[in-house]
């Protein structure tokens, strides 16, 4: 039977790499993306590589948008077996410079979105007899200067993951999180060069990871090999979560 996997924010960066990794002859990937052009280009790219993908325009921070995209997906493809909550944004600044709008945008896009997507998708997974959910959090959930909004959203995502894993274990729905470190994507490339360079120097590896490194972790957590793993956070951060690497 054909599988269906939803990946949010899959128009570029980590989400696109996850979509490319999960899409196979046996798995149709539904790209839930805010930006129509990015979403359509991503589908084209996957199809050119012989993969199965379709695009649903969706703002994952908006309840109506999530509800209508999920209803359209169910109508077109049936129940999804995999949900990857990847869409996320940054609005970095020190506390005194973060305005309420930036706080709300980050919390809504990074955290409320996972609540909305899970609320819409879990009943479908239950009916289908099970599924796998992976939330893309960040190493920054452990704490990060200039990111109180972002790290709070990602810490919330870890707590959501752990609680939902307990709630859904008896429904055969696994809920895990992947916590990337610094990954070379358009999000990171949008940072000023001196900031990016400082972040690279703070890596134990002194280099950024690749979106494919995150996709590999997601592929494992959504595979049958991971059927007894739930409620966990898999750090894919070149050792940054361990601690400072300077002598």
Ligand X SMILES: NC(=O)c1ccc[n+]([C@@H]2O[C@H](COP(=O)([O-])OP(=O)(O)OC[C@H]3O[C@@H](n4cnc5c(N)ncnc54)[C@H](O)[C@@H]3O)[C@@H](O)[C@H]2O)c1
* Owner of token pair 């996957």: 46
User: 23, 133, 175, 182: which one contacts ligand X (CB under 6 A)?
Assistant: 182
Smallest distance, ligand X to C-beta of residue 129, A: 28
CB closer to ligand X out of 20 and 33: 33
Smallest distance, ligand X to C-beta of residue 174, A: 20
User: 19, 53, 58, 175: which one contacts ligand X (CB under 6 A)?
Assistant: 58
Tokens of 71: 């209803």
**CA dist., res. 62 & res. 194, Å (int):** 34
106 binds ligand X (CB under 6 A): no
- Reduced DSSP (H G I as helix, E B as strand, rest coil) percent helix, strand, coil of the chain, to 5: 50, 20, 30
61 binds ligand X (CB under 6 A): yes
Q: Taking a C-beta distance cutoff of 8 angstroms, is the pair 63, 111 a contact?
A: no
Choosing from 32, 55, 56, 150, which is the catalytic residue?
150
Backbone φ and ψ of 241, nearest 5° = -70, -15
Q: Taking a C-beta distance cutoff of 8 angstroms, is the pair 221, 178 a contact?
A: yes
Tokens of 184: 């070379």
Q: Which residues pair with 33 in a beta bridge?
A: 57
For strands 233-236 and 82-85, give the pairing.
unpaired
Strand residue runs (E) in 129-213: 131-136, 173-180
Smallest distance, ligand X to C-beta of residue 13, A: 2
147 binds ligand X (CB under 6 A): no
213 binds ligand X (CB under 6 A): no
User: 67, 72, 77, 89: which one contacts ligand X (CB under 6 A)?
Assistant: 89
CB closer to ligand X out of 86 and 230: 86
- 56 counts as catalytic: no
User: 80, 131, 156, 180: which one contacts ligand X (CB under 6 A)?
Assistant: 180
Active-site positions? 150
Interface ranges with ligand X (CB under 6 A): 8-9, 11-15, 33-35, 38, 58-61, 86-89, 109-110, 136, 138, 180, 182-183, 185-188
């Amino acid at each position: 039977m054909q599988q269906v996997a939803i990946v949010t924010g899959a128009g570029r960066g980590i989400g696109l790499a996850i979509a490319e990794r999960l899409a196979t002859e046996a798995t149709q990937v539904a790209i839930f993306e805010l930006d129509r052009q990015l979403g359509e280009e991503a589908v084209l790219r996957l199809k050119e590589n012989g993969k199965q993908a379709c695009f649903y325009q969706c703002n994952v921070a908006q309840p109506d948008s999530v509800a209508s995209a999920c209803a359209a997906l169910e109508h077109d493809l049936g129940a999804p077996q995999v949900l990857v909550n990847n869409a996320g944004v940054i609005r970095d600044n020190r506390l005194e410079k973060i305005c309420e709008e930036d706080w709300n945008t980050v919390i809504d896009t990074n955290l409320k979105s996972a609540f909305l997507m899970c609320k819409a998708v879990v009943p479908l997974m239950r009916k289908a007899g099970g599924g796998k959910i992976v939330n893309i959090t960040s190493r920054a959930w452990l704490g990060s200067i200039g990111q109180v909004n972002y790290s709070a959203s990602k810490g919330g995502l870890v707590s959501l993951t752990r609680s939902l894993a307990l709630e859904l274990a008896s429904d055969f729905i696994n809920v895990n999180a992947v916590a990337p470190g610094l990954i070379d994507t358009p999000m990171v490339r949008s940072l000023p060069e001196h900031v990016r360079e400082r972040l690279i120097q703070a890596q134990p590896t002194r280099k950024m990871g690749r979106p494919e490194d995150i996709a590999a972790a997601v592929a494992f957590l959504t595979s049958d090999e991971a059927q007894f793993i739930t409620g966990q956070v898999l750090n894919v951060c070149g050792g940054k979560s361990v601690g400072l690497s300077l002598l």
